[in-house]
Amino acid sequence: MERPKSSFKPYVPADRIMPEFTGTSIVLGIILAVIFGGANAYLGLRVGLTVSASIPAAVISMGIIRMVMKKESILENNMVQTIGSAGESLAAGAIFTLPALFMWAEEGAGTVPGYLTVALVCICGGILGICFMVPLRNALIVKEHGVLPYPEGTACAEVLVAGEKGGSTAGTVFAGLGIAALYKFIADGVKLFPSEVDIAFRRFGGSGVGIDALPALAGVGFIVGPTIAAYMFSGGVIAWFMLMPLIHTFGGDMVMFPSSDPISSMDTWALWGSYIRYIGAGAVATAGMISLVKSLPLIVRTFSENIKSLRDKSGAADSLERTGKDISFKWIIVMLVIALAILIFWPTIPMGAGSAALILVFGFFFATVSSRMVGIVGSSNNPVSGMAIATLLFSTIVLKATGNTGTAGMVTAILIGTVICIIAAMAGDTSQDLKTGYIVGATPYRQQIGEVIGVVASGLSIAGVLYLLNQAWGFGGTELPAPQAMLMKMVIEGVMEANLPWGLVFVGAFFAIAVEALRVPAMPVAIGLYLPIHLTAGIMVGGLARLFIDKKKFRSEEERDTAISSGVIYSSGMIAGEGLVGILLAALAIIPVGTKTLGEVIDVSGSFSLGQAGSLVVFALLIVSILMFSAWKKKK
């Protein structure tokens, strides 16, 4: 049955013309795309999570354009967040997979990919995600308005419409950014106090506890809330207080693959790296597949509805209005062909027509699914990792069956997975942005051009960030565990070479199944099992700060919502601040000064340090600052 034509009226009417696609919005959007793309890349490589950049970008835009430049245009602000949020989505897709290439190079199983290769793969994946989603805008955003809520897109529109609050709210973002940046620089740059507290228990062999006392972790915990934070922390408790002590107790002097050392001689980090990481990988992979299987009915229904909607031209008349114009279909085809041609014919990208065919099939399918699913469950619950794992498994099996084995086959498989992952992430982000634009009355084709600009800018910058972080610390270690990329690497190696400790992987797989059977979401618990407990402990502390606000008595629900919103905005600023300084410290770690690096020159830990106790005290003050900007913030 055909739906009645929507009577929705956007905030800015279609017949009103105001500044939108301006030099200010483009430059500021590119800057924010680079900032949030780099910050999210660092955060994702460290804890396996990324955060939405749309609302922080919108708030910063309002603060600069309204308060500093004394300009007023909600459409200009919307364009800034459209371009700026592209960096976060591209980062999510890239860091889930691409670090595997650097890890293989470190192991001697290949060479480090060139900067331009990484950048082009990221950009092509982002362009394809936009191309696949744009034809669905009329069907999903316009016709389904009031049916598909698109939570992040709607929330961002509310922030933009409430523009008169932009000045003070922008100050909250910048406060979080500045405090976290200073904290991170003192902790990990000057090293006045350690950012990690670590305690091993001698009488409870194999166990230990600790916390990474860092702003980004507290911010993530506050944003995801106490329940998800507790799920993640419980996974760490199971690993560090149950599994590792059991391995230590029963292992004795036994040498067990994949380690070559006696278990009795291994400390907590060795036990985690040799055994728990594989159990966690099995749990995360299985949790991703479970989320995908649970979504199958929705995926099938979504895909069929999207195909039907593409055949329905009843909304074509909308294109006569400013608010109904999309990028011309011929330009979509041009961008599609150019992106695929680069992936096939660029000499340093090992793909052929067969790989491009896999990308077209899986990419179009997952893009259409992602576009509708984020409208229902939000971007945070979109099973992108499950989609990537499914793609990698199928692609690796096909490549192995056709004789594309060894390092070359594994590299091709990870690049296919990278493009698909970015396509799904970008399709979801573009959908949220176009929903925001639909509510505020933006011009769709200008937003879509803005998405392309954001993809190109963030693709070029994220490639550089990956190189910088790899050269400074490498991937897969304690500084940057890169959990998803490590998982994708294990999946491909397991299919190609069958050299994984499958017993440990299956333990993790059945653990995830058991958790899901208890009606507990397996993914956050599995991530907690995989990551060191130090990371999940920091997230848990941020979750407890959010719990304090949730339980606090307010005079009204509006005051409660304002407190939570302020805390989320402040936490987003903290994540961005730490991510930026993390990238800065990576640069300092490779800049030579005499016989040392600049990072070593500013390090004072050899002569003075506040110690672990000082670290806990300063981290407690940081948590107090979150409460000051949320629960205890006085209303002006």
Residue 316 confidence (pLDDT): 46
Is the sign of the CA dihedral 331, 335, 336, 338 positive or negative? positive
d(CA 282, CA 487): 8
Tokens of residue 452, six digits: 């392309």
**Contact between 531 and 48 (Cβ < 8 Å):** yes
d(CA 40, CA 469): 13
Say whether pLDDT at 314 is over 70. no
Say whether pLDDT at 128 is over 70. yes
Question: How far, in whole angstroms, is CA 244 from its chain's centroid?
Answer: 29
Alpha-carbon distance values, 370 to 306, 376, 384 (Å): 11, 10, 8
Residue 494 confidence (pLDDT): 82
pLDDT-derived band at 328, boundaries 50, 70, 90: confident
Of 8-22, 321-335, 382-396, 578-592, the poorest mean pLDDT is in: 382-396
Q: Mean of the pLDDT values across residues 371-382?
A: 66
Element (H, E) at 388: helix 384-401
pLDDT-derived band at 295, boundaries 50, 70, 90: low
d(CA 400, CA 402): 5
Q: Token pair 């056709």 is at which residue?
A: 402
Say whether pLDDT at 601 is over 70. yes
Q: Mean of the pLDDT values across residues 228-253?
A: 92
d(CA 378, CA 376): 6
Q: Mean of the pLDDT values across residues 146-150?
A: 75
The DSSP output letter for 98 is T
Tokens of residue 254, six digits: 């036994």
pLDDT-derived band at 376, boundaries 50, 70, 90: low
Residue 476 confidence (pLDDT): 86
d(CA 315, CA 326): 12
Residue 600 makes CB contacts below 8 A (sequence gap 6+) with 593
Say whether pLDDT at 5 is over 60. no
The proportion of the chain whose per-residue pLDDT surpasses 70, expressed as a percent, equals 90
Tokens of residue 104, six digits: 């293989």
Of 347-351, 367-371, 410-414, 556-560, the poorest mean pLDDT is in: 367-371
What is the residue type of 619?
Answer: F
541 vs 195: which has the higher pLDDT: 541
Of 41-55, 69-83, 541-555, 594-608, the poorest mean pLDDT is in: 41-55
Tokens of residue 251, six digits: 């292992």
172 vs 450: which has the higher pLDDT: 450
Mean pLDDT rounded to a whole number for the chain: 84
DSSP of 538-579: HHHHHHHHHHHHHHS--SSHHHHHHHHHHHHHHHHHHHHHHH
Residue 124: HSE in the Cβ half-sphere, 13 Å Cα cutoff:
29
Residue 2 confidence (pLDDT): 39
pLDDT, one tens digit per residue, over 85-99 is: 888 889 888 988 999
d(CA 32, CA 40): 12
d(CA 99, CA 440): 38
The answer to whether the pTM exceeds 0.85 is no
Element (H, E) at 210: strand 208-212
pLDDT-derived band at 238, boundaries 50, 70, 90: very high
Q: Where are the domains of the chain?
A: 185-287+496-556+583-628
Interstrand relation of 208-212 and 196-200 (parallel, antiparallel or unpaired): antiparallel
